[in-house]
Structure 1
Amino acid sequence: MKVLIRSVRIVDNKSSLNGQVRDFLIEDGILKQIGENITADQAEVLEGAGMSVSPGWVDMRVASRDPGFEHKEDLISVRKAASRGGFAEIVLLPNSEPVVHSKDTLNYISQSGRGGLVKLHVAAAVSRKAEGVDFTEMIDLHEAGAIAFTDGEHPVQNADLFLKTILYLRPLDALLMNRPEDRQLTLYGQMHEGVTSTLIGMKGIPSLAEEMMLSRDLKLLEYALEKSVYKSDKPVLHVSLISTREAVELIRAAKKKGLPVSCDVAAHQLAYQDSDLIDFDTNLKVNPPFRSADDAAAIREGLADGTIDAIVSDHNPHDEESKNLEFDHADFGITGLETAFALSVMYSGLSEGDIIEKLTTQPRRILRLENKSIVEGTTASLTFFETETEWSFDKSYSKSKNTPFLGKTLKGKVRGVVNNGKLEWFE
């Protein structure tokens, strides 16, 4: 591969070229030259006028469904959706069949993604079958390449299991990811508990369920670390998908105390509120649910002041049979890989540079990945995009179409991805 991409604006806070327009020459996967008016024999030339470029984006939360549920999504289709969304690397949750609780399953996924444009990282389960009872062989899984440990769609309910996992992973410098939810309080819940759930007669999911479990997790983290001094900028605990004002405040307070914790929010969480479910659209049925306008405002405040470290897609594919049902029978989840950037542009309130930070630098720091910057001579991992461009989301490359955004006009378009010696360029 030898490609010359002309006149793109660099968005990289770590680069001395940040904000400048340059040509890029990429050869055999290496960023050979950054400059003005570059010429290169036998290079494919792409015009990038009006585009921006950043280090390749990273999505920290993706459900692939493969192995076991390939009719919803497989490892080929999830990479197609990821590249269309601008992601060079994605983290796959362990909730497949079988669950990623053994090296065999982990290696199957890792090897399937080897050599592709989009790099697949695998998060292994904390407990066998993600049932929250017996530990997995975390040392073996860590050595086999697990990027983090989580029961994924199943929050860790057992406090002793949670505490011992932190103690177990810390000597490995490994990350625990957990979504805070007290399942006893959310049993049979369908949407956010509030005025709208009362009006339409739906069992609510109270904010309290998230906030109580998050408070527990933070106290257990502090307890696990209280007898030692933690000297690292890398978190021990990553809190997935926070959705309420108090959850933001709890994370903010924990960080002020110096606890090694980070968190993320799903891009779609910024786009809707619980009142939008008045028409029973099952494509809006997600967990955590869309909350109140006050909660949404707090999420934006948390993004702006750095309390919330990362934005994720929470890509959660389901087939027609799982979504085209009565609301209380439909599965939770939205496919989000292809729309995460646009929703961040439209609803986060962040500047372009800050959005890119939450899709690149922060996920890499949290996940212990090598930091990427736009520098000559380095391996090219780049995402090309146009922040101000509007486009119609008429086709999804995911196998599943459970998204409320199909057919909608969005703002913020991905134009191409370079990674692992490969290039995909989109019209």
Structure 2
Amino acid sequence: MDIVLNSVEIFDKRSPYHGKRKNVHIKNGVITSITSQKVKARQTVDAKGLKLSIGWFDVGAHFGDPGFEHKENLESGRSLAEKSGFTGVAVLPNTNPVVQSKNEVSYITSNNKNELIQLYALGAVSANTEGKELTEMIDLHHAGAVGFTDGFNPIWHTDILLKTLQYLQKFDGLLINRAEDRMLTMFGSMHEGTQSTLLGLKGMPGLAEEVMVQRDLRLLDYAGGRIHFSNISTAGSVDLIRKAKKKGLAVTCDVAVHQIAFSDKALEDYDTNFKVNPPFRENGDIKALIKGLKDGTIDLIVSSHCPQDEESKNLEFDLADFGIIGLQTFMSVIKGHYQDLSLEELIQGFTTRPREILGLPLPEIKVGSQADLTLFDPDKKWDYTLESNLSKSRNSPFLGKTLTGKSVGVFNNGKVYLDEGL
């Protein structure tokens, strides 16, 4: 590797070069110069109009491997992440078998030394993610698990959640929980409100999320530790977490990138590609999520990548599985639906903050640093079609649309991917 990115805009608040156009030389995986002078290299990329940030990082994608490789596997997931701008992905444990032993953690991470995309394992909190019996989380931690979660399954058992908060304090481990009271969402398939009534579908009330957020925060206050809420979706949840942060509790949270793109009115045609959990809420919730991102209540933006095959989606709406594939369209959704927030405000949520929360080293854009970088064009238009879709699955409401914003290259681990158009 011997590449110079000419006239690229550096996009990293922690860098003294932030907002400046420089020629960045990367050789053998290391940033060797950042200068305004001409640099000779084997490959020169005209990067005028492009931005360079530290590598994007996603928390909580589902690659389905092992067990559900027909939807996505580690190989296709890595390739997808690479071409979508991500250099690191923490994957959910909802596989078969579940990521609940050293062997499963090793299966996820063992090939990292040979790959551009680094995969990180999130270990299961409970055996088979059923919420009944704790896993050996210390062993999982020593094996390399970077966080602990039952993934799609909320930790419904109060004592299990309490003991997990206490247990993880032995090594400052992070508990990640999906806030949902499934007794309140049972048989539901969309947000409970006027729209669900009009469509004749069983609703999932925002209350189901908020009572779990409130429960978990009370337990966090009682037991100590750290908790992260994944995929929050309601104004009430944002308000509860904001107050808990002001109180000094060690709480963080994320929002799925698609959550702000649509309201529950998008479901009027019963298109199962809009069926997600948590469901698309009302406009008031969307405004609260935007405000939460702006004031720092919401720490991360995640892809919530959840591939589903045709047999899972091509059904009546109430029978179809939840989920959207979200990696490839990540930047486009931000560009198209987060206009109330600047990219400068948002990018911390998928570069520095996820690594800080997981306790991972932070890449830097400086001479002598290992290159862990994403090159992107926020204004690039592209057609998202079945032919250009990179996932093994196709469950996306954005298919068939012309989108704006795209990653065009990544550098990491001494390797590089550059879009063919460069």
8 Å Cα contact 2:363-2:370 kept in structure 1: no
What whole-Å deviation, never above 9, does each CA across 1:73-102 have from its counterpart, x for those lacking one?
000111111112211100100000000011
Does residue 68 in structure 1 map to residue 67 in structure 2? yes
Q: Which of 243, 249, 266 matches 1:253?
A: 243
Does residue 404 in structure 1 map to residue 397 in structure 2? yes
Partner AA of 1:68 in structure 2: G
Partner AA of 2:408 in structure 1: R
**SS in structure 2 opposite 1:171?**
coil
Does residue 10 in structure 1 map to residue 10 in structure 2? yes
CA-CA distance at 1:38 after TM superposition: 3.0
Does residue 196 in structure 1 map to residue 184 in structure 2? no
Q: Tell me how far apart the structure 1 counterparts of residues 302 and 152 of structure 2 sit (CA, whole Å).
A: 14
**SS in structure 1 opposite 2:58?**
strand
Q: Which of 326, 334, 354 matches 2:345?
A: 354
CA-CA distance at 1:40 after TM superposition: 2.3
CA-CA distance at 1:240 after TM superposition: 0.4
Q: How does 1:230-269 map to 2 (within 5 A)?
A: 236-269=226-259
What whole-Å deviation, never above 9, does each CA across 1:345-395 have from its counterpart, x for those lacking one?
221222121121111111111111112221110100000111222222221
Q: Tell me how far apart the structure 1 counterparts of residues 45 and 113 of structure 2 sit (CA, whole Å).
A: 27
2:30 aligned residue: 30
How many residue pairs match? The answer is 417
Partner AA of 1:358 in structure 2: G
**SS in structure 1 opposite 2:215?**
helix
1:79 aligned residue: 78
Q: Tell me how far apart the structure 1 counterparts of residues 155 and 244 of structure 2 sit (CA, whole Å).
A: 20
Single out whichever of 29-38 and 372-381 deviates more from structure 2: 29-38
8 Å Cα contact 2:23-2:39 kept in structure 1: no
Gaps of 5+ in 2: none
Q: Tell me how far apart the structure 2 counterparts of residues 205 and 162 of structure 1 sit (CA, whole Å).
A: 23
Partner AA of 2:413 in structure 1: N
Q: How does 1:16-55 map to 2 (within 5 A)?
A: 16-41=16-41, 43-55=42-54
Q: Tell me how far apart the structure 1 counterparts of residues 318 and 343 of structure 2 sit (CA, whole Å).
A: 38
Does residue 388 in structure 1 map to residue 382 in structure 2? no
Q: Tell me how far apart the structure 2 counterparts of residues 345 and 198 of structure 1 sit (CA, whole Å).
A: 32
1:128 aligned residue: 127
Partner AA of 2:253 in structure 1: C
Q: Tell me how far apart the structure 2 counterparts of residues 265 and 53 of structure 1 sit (CA, whole Å).
A: 24
1:231 aligned residue: none
Q: Tell me how far apart the structure 2 counterparts of residues 386 and 183 of structure 1 sit (CA, whole Å).
A: 41
Q: How does 1:145-156 map to 2 (within 5 A)?
A: 145-156=144-155
Moved over 3 A (4+): none
**SS in structure 1 opposite 2:297?**
coil
Q: Tell me how far apart the structure 2 counterparts of residues 180 and 169 of structure 1 sit (CA, whole Å).
A: 19
**SS in structure 2 opposite 1:90?**
strand
Does residue 376 in structure 1 map to residue 367 in structure 2? yes
CA-CA distance at 1:155 after TM superposition: 0.6
CA-CA distance at 1:293 after TM superposition: 0.6
Q: Tell me how far apart the structure 2 counterparts of residues 391 and 402 of structure 1 sit (CA, whole Å).
A: 18
TM normalised by structure 1 equals 0.96
**SS in structure 1 opposite 2:52?**
strand
Q: Which of 319, 324, 333 matches 1:334?
A: 324
Does residue 223 in structure 1 map to residue 222 in structure 2? yes
8 Å Cα contact 1:75-1:113 kept in structure 2: no
Partner AA of 2:399 in structure 1: L
Gaps of 5+ in 1: 226-234
Q: Tell me how far apart the structure 1 counterparts of residues 212 and 105 of structure 2 sit (CA, whole Å).
A: 29
1:285 aligned residue: 275
Q: Tell me how far apart the structure 1 counterparts of residues 79 and 341 of structure 2 sit (CA, whole Å).
A: 27
Partner AA of 2:300 in structure 1: A
Q: Tell me how far apart the structure 1 counterparts of residues 53 and 345 of structure 2 sit (CA, whole Å).
A: 12
2:103 aligned residue: 104
8 Å Cα contact 2:293-2:346 kept in structure 1: no
**SS in structure 2 opposite 1:184?**
helix
Q: Tell me how far apart the structure 2 counterparts of residues 110 and 372 of structure 1 sit (CA, whole Å).
A: 19
Does residue 183 in structure 1 map to residue 179 in structure 2? no
8 Å Cα contact 1:63-1:95 kept in structure 2: yes
8 Å Cα contact 1:282-1:330 kept in structure 2: yes
CA-CA distance at 1:2 after TM superposition: 1.2
Partner AA of 1:390 in structure 2: K
